Structure 1
Amino acid sequence: MVAESFSLLLPVYRADDAAHFLKAFTSSVGEQSRRPDEVVLVQDGPVEAELADALASVVASSPVPVVHHVIAENIGLARALSIGLELCSHDIVARMDADDISLPSRFELQLPLVESGLDLVGTGMYEFLDEVGSIVGRRVPRTEQHEIVSYARFHDPFSHPTVVYRRSAVKHAGGYEPLGLMEDYWLFARMIHAGARVGNVADPLVMYRVGAGAYARRGGREQWKSERALQRAFRRIGFTTRRQYVRNIVVRGVYRFIPEPIRKVAYRTFIAGGRGLAPTESQ
């Protein structure tokens, strides 16, 4: 198996914290046992001075080449990622968000799976509070193709900040399309529907920051609108059956409107990432 070059695609926008971004970048580049061959930073609209300085700093000091593309106005994540994919020099692309942390062996473990024939590979995740040592849970995804394909009819089987994929497979499925807050799930479902070979590494290789309001953002009327649009899109392309559509509308719809404390428990117990979010002993 020949090792292939790969790009790291990292979008930023005005709400991102400069210190968090610097940690995300460093953990995904300089601290990796297998480094990306380039980084594509897509700046989605104007940012504050502190974040602008952080961006300039990593461009100047990065151990690998960095493409810093600035979009004049904020256009949203799906469109920003589409632009970023076009700027990537390599077919294999790793995703990262500006407030999470990659563990040092992430790419060393993920890349061989893509190089061996998979089109899309995610990983497990730790959830942590603003302090890195404050781990509050662990997402354990399904790992086998048949498990992932089955589970995808009900819930997103991948955590977006963890994935590595082939750009050609993303394009074959139609690329990122804006769909409220569901553009990643919509893309992964279309990739599976188009025949992509998929897998997950069960080990947590990314630390996902859980800030204030994380569970509140998973509920409410806007989330319900996105949910309903997603389920209609799934049914339109034949990704779900009519029975699955009704189940998803009812179960996932109720989840969007239950009180936040109950939503938090439900998310941790039943939904997060595949086999559920295993609480830590302190919870």
Structure 2
Amino acid sequence: MLNKYSVLMSVYYKDRPDWLELSLSSIVLQTVFPDEIILVKDGEISEDLERVIKKFIDGYPCVFKVIPLKNNVGLGPALNVGLKECRNNIVIRMDADDYCVFDRNEKLLKAANAHKDCGIIGSWEAEFNGSLDNVVAIHKVPENTNQIFEFMKRRCALLHPTVLYKKDIIIKCGGYNNAPLYEDYDLFLRVVIKYKVPCYNIQEPLYFIRINDDFFKRRGGWKYMKNLVSFKWKQYKIGYMSYGDFCVSAGAHAVVCMLPNYLRKKIYMKFLRG
């Protein structure tokens, strides 16, 4: 059984120290302990964030490997740097402001052993506001490769921070490109559509992600809409989606982007979540 794995994270100056502490605590309390935790500091960070990181390094000196970057380069490029430093082929993602259940990594590893042909194993995620016991939605994604393949043509079927992936496959598929806001979708489209790598999603929420009004505000406005349509047009031109899929996906998302925030929130909750 595959038990050795690396955890890959990135932290930057806007992350909150208390959220980072909760995130790291949920990783070191896993039922299957990580072989290493790669933490990329994406540019300069606050002293409070540094203190949280030092606390965990002191507590687990043989596990943490911190990689400092001089400048803030963004999530995708930061993860590319960290991925190269992972000594294990099995890599599990984690974000600095989220939380995962105590046996999440064990379940990901068991699924990877049960689906040895899969390059990515993901799960559903629980979206919470404020405290972990205030779950407001479950973000569900399809289970098997064929379902994921079809779903990917209109929406991302793999939830980035929930995934376990194989380092050699991600590198073979080109790693993270410069696609601001869509680094994960861009990567997973290549993995699933171009390289036809089998993938699997565990059909339960193993990961908790924070949402609030700002979460929905960031998904609206003219600039976000332009980036979204431009990204999907590029995927259509490459051949990752049909013109019909492009029109349905980009058109619907563009309309949602331009709605008032309270309406955008209602649509996300009613139609895009479980």
TM-score with structure 2 length normalisation? Answer: 0.95
Amino acid in structure 2 at the alignment position of 1:104: F
Deviation, 1:244, is 1.4
Percent identity, aligned pairs only, is 27
Query: Which residue matches 1:110?
Result: 108
Are positions 1:161 and 2:161 aligned together? yes
Instruction: Measure, in 1, the Cα distance between the counterparts of 2:103 and 2:119.
Output: 20
Query: Which residue matches 1:214?
Result: 215
- Map residues 56-95 of structure 1 onto 2, 5 A cutoff: 56-62=54-60, 65-95=63-93
Query: Which residue matches 1:267?
Result: 268
Unaligned runs of 5+ in 1: 272-276, 279-283
Are positions 1:33 and 2:31 aligned together? yes
Amino acid in structure 1 at the alignment position of 2:242: T
Deviation, 1:154, is 0.7
Are positions 1:250 and 2:251 aligned together? yes
Amino acid in structure 2 at the alignment position of 1:14: Y
Instruction: Measure, in 2, the Cα distance between the counterparts of 1:170 and 1:215.
Output: 29
Residue aligned with 1:53, SS = helix
Instruction: Measure, in 1, the Cα distance between the counterparts of 2:98 and 2:142.
Output: 21
Structure-2 change in CA distance of 1:183 and 1:83 (3 Å)? same
Amino acid in structure 1 at the alignment position of 2:230: A
Residue aligned with 1:213, SS = helix
Q: How many residues in Structure 1 have an aligned counterpart in Structure 2?
A: 271
Say whether the 8 Å CA contact 1:9–1:94 is kept in structure 2. Answer: yes
Say whether the 8 Å CA contact 1:151–1:157 is kept in structure 2. Answer: yes
Instruction: Measure, in 2, the Cα distance between the counterparts of 1:105 and 1:151.
Output: 27
Deviation, 1:64, is 5.3
Instruction: Measure, in 1, the Cα distance between the counterparts of 2:105 and 2:76.
Output: 23
Instruction: Measure, in 2, the Cα distance between the counterparts of 1:168 and 1:35.
Output: 22
Say whether the 8 Å CA contact 2:34–2:63 is kept in structure 1. Answer: no
Are positions 1:8 and 2:11 aligned together? no
TM-score with structure 1 length normalisation? Answer: 0.92
Query: Which residue matches 2:129?
Result: 129
Instruction: Measure, in 2, the Cα distance between the counterparts of 1:64 and 1:135.
Output: 35
Instruction: Measure, in 2, the Cα distance between the counterparts of 1:160 and 1:153.
Output: 16
Say whether the 8 Å CA contact 1:36–1:64 is kept in structure 2. Answer: no
Say whether the 8 Å CA contact 1:110–1:121 is kept in structure 2. Answer: yes
Residue aligned with 2:150, SS = helix
Instruction: Measure, in 1, the Cα distance between the counterparts of 2:213 and 2:18.
Output: 17
Instruction: Measure, in 1, the Cα distance between the counterparts of 2:88 and 2:78.
Output: 18
Say whether the 8 Å CA contact 1:125–1:140 is kept in structure 2. Answer: yes
Cα deviation digits, residues 204-224 of structure 1 (max 9, x gap): 101111134111111112211
Instruction: Measure, in 1, the Cα distance between the counterparts of 2:14 and 2:4.
Output: 31
Query: Which residue matches 2:199?
Result: 198
Say whether the 8 Å CA contact 1:179–1:229 is kept in structure 2. Answer: no
Deviation, 1:120, is 0.5
Instruction: Measure, in 2, the Cα distance between the counterparts of 1:219 and 1:126.
Output: 22
Instruction: Measure, in 1, the Cα distance between the counterparts of 2:223 and 2:163.
Output: 26
Instruction: Measure, in 2, the Cα distance between the counterparts of 1:113 and 1:252.
Output: 32
Instruction: Measure, in 2, the Cα distance between the counterparts of 1:68 and 1:82.
Output: 14
Query: Which residue matches 1:240?
Result: 241
Deviation, 1:243, is 1.7
Instruction: Measure, in 1, the Cα distance between the counterparts of 2:93 and 2:87.
Output: 14
Deviation, 1:134, is 1.5
Cα deviation digits, residues 32-54 of structure 1 (max 9, x gap): 11121100000000111100111
Residue aligned with 1:269, SS = helix
Instruction: Measure, in 2, the Cα distance between the counterparts of 1:247 and 1:84.
Output: 36
Query: Which residue matches 1:281?
Result: none
Say whether the 8 Å CA contact 2:128–2:210 is kept in structure 1. Answer: yes
Instruction: Measure, in 1, the Cα distance between the counterparts of 2:247 and 2:51.
Output: 49
Deviation, 1:63, is 7.1
